[in-house]
Amino acid sequence: MSGNRAAARRKQAVFRWVTIGLCLVFFALPLFGMLEFTTRGPGGTRSAQTWATLVDFGQVSAEYPALREGFLASIGLAVLTVAIMLALLVPTMTWVRLRLPGLSRTVEFICLLPLTVPAIVLVVGLTPVYAWVTYLLGESTLWLALAYVILVLPYAYRSLDAGLRSIDVKTLAEASRSLGAGWGTVMVRIVLPNLRTAVLSASFLSVALVLGEFTIANLFSRKNLQVAMYELGKSDAQISIAVGLAALVFGFLVLFAMSFVGGPRGTTSALVPRPRGRRKVSA
Amino acid sequence: MTSQTRQGVTVELIDLRRTYGSLNALDGFTLHISPGELVALLGPSGCGKTTALRCLAGLEDPDSGRIEVAGRDITSTPTNRRDMGMVFQAYSLFPHMTARQNVEFGLQLRKRGSQERRARAADMLDLVGLSDQADKYAHQMSGGQQQRVALARALAIEPQVLLLDEPLSALDAKVRAQLRDEIRRIQLTVGTTTLFVTHDQEEALAVADRVGVMRAGHLEQLAAPEVLYAHPTTEFVADFVGLTNRLPGAVAAGHAEVLGGRVPLLQGSATSGTVVVLVRPEGIDIAADPAGQATVVSGSFLGAHGRVTTALADGRHVVVQVPSSTVAHYPPGTVVRLTPRGDAALAVAAASPSLSDTAGART
């Protein structure tokens, strides 16, 4: 019997490694292709010239001003999107949990809705809104952040909801209120520190999504990193692919970092000491 | 140990009403708490005791009625300006702060200097016996320790009123009894007027100066524990507090004839006709007697004392309290004679709906 079990375990282990191997090949092959393409030199040689150019921001700015513009716009968009998303979602979700639990389903529905709306439909709907935004606030790629907040809502909502579920917000808020805290203090000193993990994952997801966004920016004729890369690809494919690869690796690193932040207790405890939940234990 | 010996303040809850849909959580609830007094509100789930406490804390708004503390109307004062310390049923320590930081939190909000905060937190942690746990986080402490820190945190701000919302219900029995006694000791030390909500009658009777039994949003009886136990004024209180035998009897001249003996009646008893008399297990004597009117069904050993459950000829059960050493004298099947000792008891009209219950004894 034990021999059979050992054989079954071996089979499972082999299957596991084969699956992991195939997945790695599936994901790594295009990346390897990109790397190979960006290191091609003249006459079939290998050259790191493209990457040397890319890491020199001054040179990139001088040679590819559109890329610089798109990069800076995407960074600005990421920061602005995260800021608006947090300012909008954290207080709303906390308030709904504390005072209007009956509305939680509605808020969840609204936040998850963007998942079902194609980008083109969103753009069509937002066009008249952006006409007013441009009229009132002036022309800037940064206003795309308003549309991006809608795009990141489902992901950010899920992260923050998981965070809020892991703590007893109502009791913590009531305890701090009874000690003399106003609502602002409750949010800043009690709720946010205990949502740190959730806020970080919501932010990382939003950054990854914003840095990879192409459709809406392109349809609105705005230049973010992806649009700049696309346009650059028409004239200098190597640098465009190199930027694409760098963006992919960066996105991967962001998500990788997030898996540590939201991962096992051993790693999170360094960030936030978390409660173990209600238990009956002797004093 | 703290040097704080503060005089408590008067608390008045006047004709409070609070409804949730069709449910009257508070229905004309009125309560007066004297300075420094510890009043426990006791009652079954949904009787409104927690709602009353939350109204006093400002966490719920009454639909009508008035709340006064130290003569000042605070009905519409927000929670954070009511100056009340509260310990919750759920563990409520801020998970990202150490025990010391938790205790200092309320003082920080009051802009006290760091020296004063540290000293006060150390005093309070000392008061609850947790000086050595000051740098621990909530998840590093047991449930009992967390509730002690929560108590220290509530007391650190020198509140006018201390509110305890079933703070012991998540703890195991031994810790609960231990912490219950400590709460009383600390409350007597600091002298803060305290409202303690619990569904555990033993807890309420053990710690409170007065116990209020609540039912359907109002107070049924508010009295000192011994008075509440020995002189219940309503059937509900007699049934809810302690164990009660419901025995059929007949009223005559301020007495009831029960089990062949006479029982003086408490005020508020039915005055005529066939009644049910609510007699405590310790109010009945038991003796083995082949000509007796009851048969022993079972006996149980409860530590300091024991209980013998007997059945009358009509099937009605009667529970009798005996010294634990004598439980073994009454094995099941023994025919016994039950005689009332003559302690005053409450008699209610036999038409009471609960009389259909054939099991005579109720907890």
Give A37-53 pLDDT, tens digit per residue.
999 888 878 888 888 88
- The pLDDT value recorded for residue B170 is 81
Give A229-270 pLDDT, tens digit per residue.
898 888 888 888 998 898 888 888 877 877 776 544 433 333
In whole angstroms, give the CA distance from residue B212 to residue B204.
9
Find the CATH number of the domain harbouring B208: 3.40.50.300
Q: Flag whether pLDDT at B268 surpasses 60.
A: yes
Domain total for chain B?
2
Q: How confident is the model at residue A1 (pLDDT cuts 50, 70, 90)?
A: low
- The pLDDT value recorded for residue B355 is 39
Question: What chain A residue is nearest to B156 in terms of C-alpha separation?
Answer: A179
* pLDDT, chain B, mean: 89
Rounded to the nearest 10°, the torsion over CA A63, A69, A71, A76 is 160
Greater pLDDT, B254 or A166: A166
CB contact (8 A) between residue A193 and residue B138 = no
Residue B271 included in any domain: yes
Q: Which residues of B touch A275 (CB under 8 A)?
A: 91, 95, 138-139
Q: How confident is the model at residue B333 (pLDDT cuts 50, 70, 90)?
A: very high
pTM of the complete model beyond 0.80: no
A184 Cβ contact list (under 8 Å, min separation 6): none
| B41 and B62 housed in the same domain | yes
Question: What chain B residue is nearest to A283 in terms of C-alpha separation?
Answer: B144
CATH architecture of A62-268: Orthogonal Bundle (1.10)
* Residues in chain B, overall count: 363
| B56 and B119 housed in the same domain | yes
DSSP symbol at B33 = E
Q: How confident is the model at residue A192 (pLDDT cuts 50, 70, 90)?
A: very high
Residue B6 included in any domain: no
Domain boundaries, chain A: 2-38, 62-268
| B348 and B216 housed in the same domain | no
Residue B4 included in any domain: no
Task: State mean pLDDT over A92-113.
Answer: 92
- The pLDDT value recorded for residue B358 is 37
Question: What chain B residue is nearest to A177 in terms of C-alpha separation?
Answer: B80
Residue B238, phi-psi category: left (phi > 0), alpha (psi -120 to 50), beta (remainder): alpha
* pLDDT, chain A, mean: 85
Residue B249 included in any domain: yes
Residue B217, phi-psi category: left (phi > 0), alpha (psi -120 to 50), beta (remainder): left
**Of the residues B230, B254, B276, which one is the last residue of a structural domain?**
B230
**Of the residues B206, B230, B254, which one is the last residue of a structural domain?**
B230
B167 touches chain A (CB under 8 A): no
| B248 and B154 housed in the same domain | no
In whole angstroms, give the CA distance from residue B226 to residue B210.
9
Reduce the secondary structure of A65-76 to three states and give it as a string.
HHHHHHHHHHHH
| B28 and B107 housed in the same domain | yes
| B197 and B264 housed in the same domain | no
Residue B96 included in any domain: yes
- The pLDDT value recorded for residue A97 is 92
Greater pLDDT, A17 or B269: A17
Q: Which residues of A touch B139 (CB under 8 A)?
A: 273-276
Find the CATH number of the domain harbouring B351: 2.40.50.140
Task: State mean pLDDT over A184-208.
Answer: 91
**Three-state SS at B293:** coil
**Of the residues B192, B207, B230, which one is the last residue of a structural domain?**
B230
User: Residue B280 belongs to what domain range?
Assistant: 243-362
| B131 and B85 housed in the same domain | yes
Residue B237 included in any domain: no
Q: Flag whether pLDDT at B141 surpasses 90.
A: yes
- Find the CB nearest B88 among A174, A185, A282: A174
